[in-house]
A and B are shown apart, each in its own frame.
Chain A
Amino acid sequence: MKNESDSKSWSKSDGARLKGVSQWNIAWRRFKKNRAALAGGFIIGFVVFLAAFDFLVAPFPPNNISAFYSGETRVPPSSKYLFGTDYVGHDVFSQVVYGCRSALYVGFGAAAIAMSLAILVGLFSGYYGGLVDNILMRITEIFLVIPFLLILLVFLKVITAIAPSGVGGLTIVTIMIGMFSWASNARIIRSEVLRVKESEFIEASKSLGASNTRIVFKHIFPNVLHTIIVLTTLMIANAILVEAAVSFLGFGDPNAITWGQQLQKANEAVKEAWWEGVFPGFFITLLVLGFNLLGNGLRDALDPRLRE
């Protein structure tokens, strides 16, 4: 009897005991203890929830101007219009809720593009070195030095001018932001690759005859993944800020409902209607804060050099 329970408990836990705790388990344990990071995750979860169920949360349909017909344009916040209404008669609360989806779209979309480019450039430049590295790093430097916002504005102007109707809008803004913000991340990933490249296990893998592709994707990539995750989180926050700025300057997609667009319209009437700008701006700050807190938390949790 005693023997049986003994062997049972042994067989149950031996897997865990022999395997030890994985790097990800350690990271998750650390992350759970970090209250700021959890708050960041909670904020993002909240905005994702609003974006997913915007049609249920928002009291009015998108771009609805029923307040205009009832003569309630630019009324201050009330129980009917939680964040007030704007000059056209939009319910600011509803528009803010619909803005969640755009913000996440731009953030994740631009970050996906920028990080893909950054990972490719960083991996190949760092791993191969020599001429490849030289060429890729010169290109990277160009992207680091160019006056980013100015070029972005001119390019967006061009695309609205030459794109056939129907093409364009928020997707173009997203792609452009992604294309112009990979350079600094590529540099960071490259330096991480250079660090990992010198490790003994890469040497071992090489001596066993592994191909370069295998080494890059099987050995180097997983070891720089934690850096990539952190950079992606921060990149999302940055992309959201850039889109807001571009829209604020009037170069965004006028048909999309974004917080930046709302701020642009609000800026023309801050004196008469403070609520038009205060609420969308608050949501930008909140979401960006969420991603930054998460990013900082992940950096602390995923850093393999820090031990408990």
Chain B
Amino acid sequence: MSMIRYLIRRLLYLIPLFFGILIIVFVATRLAGNPVQLMTIQNPHITSEFRQRLTEYYGLDKPVYYQFFLFIWQMLQGNLGNSYAIRGGIAVTSLIDDYAWLTFQLQLLALLFSIIIAIPIGIISAKKQYSKLDVTVTTTSLLGTCIPVFYMGIITIIIFAYFLGWFPAGGANAILQERYLFGSLELDRIWHMVLPTGVLTFALLAPIVLLVRSSMLEVLRQDYILAARASGLSERSVVYKHALRNAIIPVVTWVGIYFGSMLAGAPITETVFNWPGVGRLFVEATTKLDFPVIMGITVFITIMTLIANLVTDLMYGYIDPRIRLE
């Protein structure tokens, strides 16, 4: 019951936040320039009358508040408008439907891999604090947090795509169907995903390892661990059953917060690896002042972020019964 009440209160707070973010981005896009101007600048035959008609067609001649309420009204009906520039004005919803899955494939797989690899490494590193292994792990992780993702991407492309030629340098699939790896779409996709997923995994690995390690060190020092050891439990059970459950809490927070910035950070990885996801789409749309696409992706990513935040909050109560949701 308290859970439902908490959920309602949280939603009452998140909904205005969501609309606040939308207002900021919406007003910002309208200030960023005139898309009609940008579209027609290359064409000397276009008259000002035609420009005027185009502006009216897109509804850009109306006041900004009117445009905003129209946008919200349409959004509530599941319509995010049509793109100005892509595929002859394709609906933004179907565009996001096309691109979002590719973003998810990459990001979620990398997140999953990094968590699976990071937790045992962090635990072992904490158990053998100051050993050679621990020093190597912490040094590598620290370095990992300092390398920009796109730089790591460029380096791996140079080494694995050009010098060694093992993997393709970019894209989600070969352009021609005849060039697919073993003629299969799925295998070709996996082959294209190796480099971007690998780079993202390494980038995520570093902070999670450091987090698991420090939180494990903190937990292992506590009295209840001593009590567990004293009552004759095996080391394995002490570490993986009793200590891990508490040590994992900061990791859950981090993943929850990270999930949002991960989607917002997608432009970087996707640009390096030429990956056709929402991130690269957003960069292109911003450059071209494709307002509906900018707004559509903002709506999509903001909703995802807010849901991730909510789920993180709810997870707390599940993992750590000391925390009461209020």
Chain A residues engaging chain B, CB cutoff 8 angstroms: 141-142, 144-151, 153-155, 157-158, 161-162, 237, 241, 244-245, 248-251, 263, 266-267, 270-271, 274, 277-278, 281, 284-285, 288-289, 292-293, 296
Contact = CB atoms under 8 A, between A and B. Distances in A.
Contact of B28 (A142, A155, A248): A155
A293 B169 CA distance: 33
Interface string B7-38: 00000000001001100110011011100000
A277 B268 CA distance: 15
B263 interface: yes
B204 to A, nearest CB: 15
Contact of A241 (B148, B169, B287): B148
A150 B268 contact: no
Interface in B233-287: 257, 260-261, 263-265, 267-268, 271-272, 282-283, 286-287
Given A263-B150, A281-B148, A150 B32 contact: no
A151 B25 contact: yes
Contacts of B158: 270, 274, 277-278
Contacts of A270: 154, 157-158, 162, 169
Interface residues of B, number: 48
Contacts of A158: 28, 31-32
Contacts of A271: 162, 169
A153 B271 contact: no
B294 interface: yes
B305 interface: yes
Give the residue among A146, A150, A263 with the most B Cβ atoms within 10 A.
Answer: A150
B305 A147 contact: yes
Interface string B141-161: 011011111110011011000
Given A145-B17, A289-B142, A154 B154 contact: no
Nearest to B298: A150
B16 to A, nearest CB: 10
B92 interface: no
Contact of A154 (B28, B263, B302, B309): B28
Contacts, number: 130
29 contacts: A142-B20, A144-B257, A145-B17, A145-B309, A146-B21, A146-B24, A147-B260, A147-B301, A147-B302, A147-B305, A150-B267, A150-B298, A151-B25, A157-B286, A161-B31, A161-B32, A162-B31, A245-B148, A248-B150, A248-B268, A249-B271, A249-B283, A267-B154, A267-B271, A270-B154, A281-B148, A281-B155, A284-B148, A285-B148
Contact of A153 (B33, B283, B301): B283
A285 B33 contact: no
Given A155-B28, A270-B154, A292 B301 contact: no
B306 interface: yes
B264 A149 contact: yes
A229 B148 CA distance: 24
A93 B201 CA distance: 31
A173 to B, nearest CB: 15
B154 to A, nearest CB: 5
A292 B283 contact: no
Contacts of B31: 158, 161-162
A45 to B, nearest CB: 17
Closest 5 CB pairs of A and B: A281-B151, A147-B264, A289-B146, A161-B33, A288-B146
B125 to A, nearest CB: 16
A154 B306 contact: no
B146 A250 contact: no
B297 interface: yes
B231 to A, nearest CB: 31
B146 A292 contact: yes
A271 B298 CA distance: 33
Contacts of B154: 263, 266-267, 270, 277-278, 281
A89 to B, nearest CB: 21
Contacts of B257: 144
Given A147-B305, A149-B264, A281-B148, A154 B155 contact: no
Contact of A267 (B265, B272, B282): B272
